[in-house]
């Protein structure tokens, strides 16, 4: 939670809208937790990792092929958990739903659109100005809501622990 708050604070000092959008999305990413993919997916990933390990030993450290295979192995490791896009969807949906917010599904879908805009910005270097501004507005609002709810949840747990220990 601390990192998320730090990133939210950094939003206010960023020099560009591009950096503001990325910083706000990272604030949510810092709160997200990836769930492991289903067992059948894990088994495939493990199979591919084993195959890569077997091929890596065929090359020396200086060989570009070894470097490429090690990079692929690292990518496979990231595939063991849900994508960041799905993690953000789950974070927004579950946090808002647990609070009883009627717009949980709508806001969870919206974060997918924001993440898509973020991805386009990162991978293509630019997005339409109106998409950028709308994405910043939407994600800023969500970061504030999610942080507030997470903070209140922690505060309530702490208060309950304190009250129960006094009894």
| Sequential DSSP letters for 78-125 | HTTB--HHHHHHHHHHHHHHHTT-TTHHHHHHHHHHHHHHHHHHHHHS
Confidence band of 154 (pLDDT split at 50, 70, 90) = confident
Whether 165 has a pLDDT exceeding 80, the answer reads no
What local confidence, expressed as pLDDT, does residue 166 receive? 65
User: At 136, is the pLDDT very low, low, confident or very high (cuts 50, 70, 90)?
Assistant: very high
Q: What is the mean pLDDT of residues 33-56?
A: 90
Do 25 and 97 fall into the same domain? yes
pLDDT value of residue 116: 97
> Within this chain, do residues 93 and 148 fall inside the same structural domain, yes or no?
yes
Among residues 145, 123, 146, 139, the alpha carbon closest in space to that of 11 is found at: 139
- Name the H helices within the chain: 2-11, 17-29, 39-56, 64-78, 84-98, 104-124, 129-166
Instruction: Answer yes or no: do 69 and 88 share one domain.
Output: no
Q: Are residues 25 and 91 in the same domain?
A: yes
DSSP 36: B
Do residues 54 and 135 share a domain?
no
Is the domain of 68 the same as that of 89? Answer: no
Look at residues 149, 151, 153, 147 and name the one whose alpha carbon lies nearest to residue 7: 147
Residues 89 and 140 placed together within one structural domain of the fold: yes
Domain region containing 23: 2-31+84-166
Q: What percent of the chain lies above the pLDDT cut of 90?
A: 68
Residues 88 and 157 in one domain: yes
Do 91 and 134 fall into the same domain?
yes
Gap between the Cα atoms of 84 and 36, Å rounded: 12
Same-domain status, 113 and 151? yes
pLDDT category at 43 given cuts 50, 70, 90 is: very high
Sequence-distant (≥ 6) Cβ neighbours of residue 101 within 8 angstroms = 107
Same structural domain, 18 and 68: no
Beta-bridge mates of residue 81: 36
DSSP helix/strand/coil, 57:
coil
* Most confident of the following: 36-40, 70-74, 82-86, 133-137: 133-137
Task: For residues 51-74, give the mean pLDDT.
Answer: 89
Number of domains in the chain: 2
- 79: confidence class by pLDDT, cuts 50, 70, 90: confident
Residue 112, CA atoms < 13 Å, CB-side half-sphere: 10
Please tell me the least confidently modeled range out of 13-17, 50-54, 145-149. Answer: 50-54
User: Is there a single domain that holds both residue 16 and residue 89?
Assistant: yes
Residue 158: is its pLDDT beyond 90? no
Q: Which residues of 129-158 are buried (b: 16+ CB within 10 A; e: fewer)?
A: eebbeebbebbbebbebbbeebeeeeeeee
């Amino acid at each position: 939670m601390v990192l998320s708050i730090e990133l939210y604070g950094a939003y206010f000092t960023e020099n560009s809208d591009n950096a503001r959008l990325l910083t706000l999305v990272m604030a949510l990413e810092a709160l997200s937790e990836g769930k492991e993919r289903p067992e059948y997916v894990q088994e495939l990933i493990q199979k591919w990792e084993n195959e890569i390990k077997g091929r890596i030993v065929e090359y020396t450290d200086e060989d570009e092929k070894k470097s490429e295979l090690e990079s692929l192995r690292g990518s496979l490791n990231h595939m063991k958990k849900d994508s960041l896009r799905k993690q953000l969807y789950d974070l927004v949906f579950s946090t808002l739903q647990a609070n009883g917010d009627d717009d949980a599904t709508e806001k969870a879908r919206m974060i997918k659109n924001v993440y898509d805009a973020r991805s386009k910005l990162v991978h293509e270097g630019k997005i339409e100005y109106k998409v950028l501004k709308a994405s910043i507005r939407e994600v800023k609002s969500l970061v504030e809501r999610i942080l507030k709810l997470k903070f209140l949840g922690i505060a309530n747990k702490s208060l309950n622990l304190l009250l129960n220990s006094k009894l």
